[in-house]
Amino acid sequence: MEMKCVFCGEKIEISGPVGKSDECPRCRRDLHCCRQCKFYDAGAYNECREVSAERVLDKERGNSCEYFTPRGLEFPSESRNEEAKKALEALFKT
C-alpha cells in the first residue's frame, strides 16, 4: 500500500503496520499521527470520524491510537463543513 505524507506530499510505500516512531523519509514528520489517518476530519467532533477513538490533542505528532489507518494517496482538500457551506451557497444562489 502507498500513502502520501500530508505535510510534504511524498509518496511512501507501506509494507506493514505504521508504528508510532515511523517517519516520512523526506520531511521526517511522524506518519502515525491524526493528520495522516483516514479518520482525520477537521470538521468532525474531536477532528476524528472514529467515535470510539480517544482524544488526541496534538494532531501532528505521533500517537498510539489503535484506530489509526493510513490515509492513502488521496486526501480531501476541504473539510465537510466547507463542503456543506458551498453546497448551501450553490442551492440558494440566484
Q: What is the largest CA-CA distance in the chain?
A: 52
**Whole-prediction pTM:** 0.76
Q: What confidence score (pLDDT) does residue 70 get?
A: 95
**Which structural domain range is residue 61 located in?**
1-94
Amino acid identity, position 30: D
Amino acid identity, position 22: D
Q: What confidence score (pLDDT) does residue 80 get?
A: 64
Would you place residue 33 in the very low, low, confident or very high pLDDT band (cuts 50, 70, 90)? Answer: very high
| 38-47: b (≥16 Cβ within 10 Å) or e | bbbbeeeeeb
Q: What confidence score (pLDDT) does residue 93 get?
A: 75
Would you place residue 1 in the very low, low, confident or very high pLDDT band (cuts 50, 70, 90)? Answer: confident
pLDDT digits (tens, 9 = 90+) for 35-89: 999 999 999 999 999 999 999 999 999 999 999 999 987 655 555 667 777 777 7
The one-character DSSP state at 82 is H
Q: In 3-state terms, what secondary structure has residue 74?
A: coil
| Cβ pair 3, 70 in contact under 8 A | yes
Q: What confidence score (pLDDT) does residue 72 get?
A: 83
Q: In 3-state terms, what secondary structure has residue 52?
A: coil
Number of separate domains in the chain: 1
